[in-house]
Amino acid sequence: MGIKEEKRLNFETSKNLGGVGAILMFIGFVLPAATGGFGLLLPLVGLILVLIGLKGFADYYNEASIFNNFLYGTIAGVAGVVVAGIAFVFAVFSMLENFLYTVFPTWDGNLSSLSGLTPDVSAIDPFALMPFLTAFLVILVILFFTAIIVAIFMRKSLNTLSAKASVGLFGTTGLLILIGAVLTIIAIGLILIWIAMLILAIAFFSMKPQQTQPAAVPSQM
């Protein structure tokens, strides 16, 4: 197999992996409840396939930023979710016990005994809920800025791929992801990101290998 044929096969493999990965992300984004735990794995598997596809294109176009920026965005996303999860666990364990003592004044501290107690709703002070609300808002802020950072890196990656492959849909996908991240505070942001995954799949399947230029024929005097 010649180098040219090998590059073409690698291109097609990267194209198919990226396209299938984007489709899995699109499906997994909207149908996790219908598919159960398997549905939660679809976006993860899809993301891995997209990353592998982008690595192939980074090598094909000799442009490392195509893969690196998308990888940085993925790492930032994972880090943000982990930090938000730690903040959530810390908030629950640090404030829940005091709240339970307020609602169940006769509670002995044993969780198994809660089922036999009657909550004293009148003892709930609205201000006692403020720490929970504050923690919830902090977690939302962490996730919001994480989404922005992820979107910025992914847009850089897709813009570079768009320029190299001459497929404008990659640029459109990056823009939709960024706008969607900014608008995640309302439902339309998630819808835009969902649509972006479908456009990303179309962009991958629209790619064509670079056409080699024919060698110039020297002019004869």
> What is this structure's pTM?
0.81
pLDDT of res. 36:
55
Report the alpha-carbon distance of residue 113 to residue 79 in Å, rounded: 37
Confidence class for position 178, pLDDT limits 50, 70, 90: very high
| Beta-carbon-side half-sphere exposure of residue 178 (alpha carbons within 13 Å) | 14
Non-local CB neighbours of 31 within 8 Å, separated by 6+ positions: 39, 42
Token pair belonging to 29: 């984004």
Residue 37: pLDDT above 80? Answer: no
The string of pLDDT tens digits covering residues 191-201 is 999 999 999 99
Q: In whole numbers, what is the pLDDT of the chain averaged over residues?
A: 83
Report the alpha-carbon distance of residue 24 to residue 17 in Å, rounded: 10
pLDDT of res. 39:
62
Confidence class for position 75, pLDDT limits 50, 70, 90: very high
Question: Which residue, among 218, 215, 205, has the nearest Cα to 12 in the 3D structure?
Answer: 205
Selected residue with higher pLDDT from 94 and 219? 94
CB 123 within 8 A of CB 102: yes
Neighbours of 203 (CB within 10 A): 26
| Of the candidate ranges 21-35, 46-60, 89-103, 140-154, the one whose mean pLDDT is the lowest | 89-103
Which DSSP string corresponds to 68-99?
A: HHHHHHHHHHHHHHHHHHHHHHHHHHHHHHHH
Confidence class for position 106, pLDDT limits 50, 70, 90: low
pLDDT of res. 166:
93
Longest CA–CA span in the chain (Å) reads 106
What residue ranges do the domains of the chain occupy? 3-205
pLDDT of res. 213:
40
| Of the candidate ranges 32-36, 171-175, 216-220, the one whose mean pLDDT is the lowest | 216-220
